[in-house]
Structure 1
């Protein structure tokens, strides 16, 4: 069997090992960043709405302004029209769905559909009535993108008696 020779000593071996370790960490971090960039999903942002008052029993056409963020988006927007009650849990009243398509950075207003307010639920009438207003919660491809929580400032439809 041949005699084994000792490995030659390398000057600054510890420094080189540390530099190699740092290089490996940077490579892993860069690879993770590139993979995250490639896997990032385009998003959708709710832009604006309004508070309106309509006569009870009136049909309301719902428009939603959306903006594509992080890339173009194609898919289904689902808007839940909900009834807000003063001392009761809110409840779903209508569900509207529409296919949308936006280029990256594009902002567009879509007509989502219509719903009819009930003739029995009048905002603030009579004084003890628990009904407050109708409001919306918006989903894109099953992911919630807008869910206003403040009943005093959120977009809504209030009703009144003619």
Structure 2
């Protein structure tokens, strides 16, 4: 599905640079004492190793129950949904509520509506529409269970499938 989105950019004369990582930063090393690894590591309550510090949104890296590895939810909807969990944990001084929602985002790009909800896995299947025409819905599965839904210009079928997550 990333390749399909890449095609949208290419069709609009946008050059994508992929596979490039940051090699380092210059400046003074202040160090926060927080555990970091491709983001600030948090528990399911958005609490860091220091219970007086929380992290949400793009920077927060939490363990995904489905995949069993740490992930970042890199869209404003995640930050919005994580905020209530994080504040509750911060005020309690410990993790008392848990962020358990799967990711959701939408974006309008080059005249196309792109939507995603859930967790992407390696098993992705087109379930409706035409991928080449950029109007379709695809479903992600893990052991035949629906884990995610991706769509371009198909809001109604997307919403219908999203209810099963």
TM range, smaller chain: under 0.3
More strand by share: 1
TM value normalised by structure 1: 0.21
TM value normalised by structure 2: 0.21
More helix by share: 2
Highest CA radius of gyration, 1 or 2?
A: 1
